[in-house]
Amino acid sequence: MQVAIYADRDPGGKKLIATLQRRLRNEEIRAWQVQKKTPFTLVHSGDRYTKIRVTFVPAGTPTFSRAARAGTLGAFRNPEPALLATISDGPSADRVLGFLVGMLTRHAGPLGVSGVGIPLNASKR
């Protein structure tokens, strides 16, 4: 499952990731924990969701390009998003998707998020 993240004046999403890291470190956002810095990977802090990872991949990287070529961006291919968040498969992946979109929209201003898109053509129904 993937989420296209658009960021104003931040085409590579670097500022968004740096701001997100800082807000997590300062405990301004408590529901998420950093699992890895490269690639930037979060896990939800709820006990039931710790196995579901959310990995952020900036535009212009080989992983992002592979996803774009594979068609997983669907309608969100043009204009190209700043980041692509990939949610790992698991029994609670749909709940984690809701948590991720909620976090991105609640903190949209400080993070510089201008839009979020969920391509459904590659998701499992």
CB 116 within 8 A of CB 4: yes
6 SS3 class = strand
Q: Is residue 12 part of a domain?
A: yes
pLDDT digit string, tens, across residues 25-79: 999 998 899 999 989 999 988 787 888 999 999 988 888 888 877 777 777 777 8
Question: Quick one: what percent of the chain has pLDDT higher than 70?
Answer: 96
Q: Is residue 123 part of a domain?
A: no
- Give the DSSP H/E element, type plus range, for residue 120: none
When divided into structural domains, the chain yields a total of 1
Residue 123 confidence class, pLDDT cut points 50, 70, 90: very low
Q: Is residue 121 part of a domain?
A: no
Give residue 60's domain range. 2-114
Q: Is residue 94 part of a domain?
A: yes
Residue 124 confidence class, pLDDT cut points 50, 70, 90: very low
Q: Is residue 125 part of a domain?
A: no
pLDDT of 99 reads 93
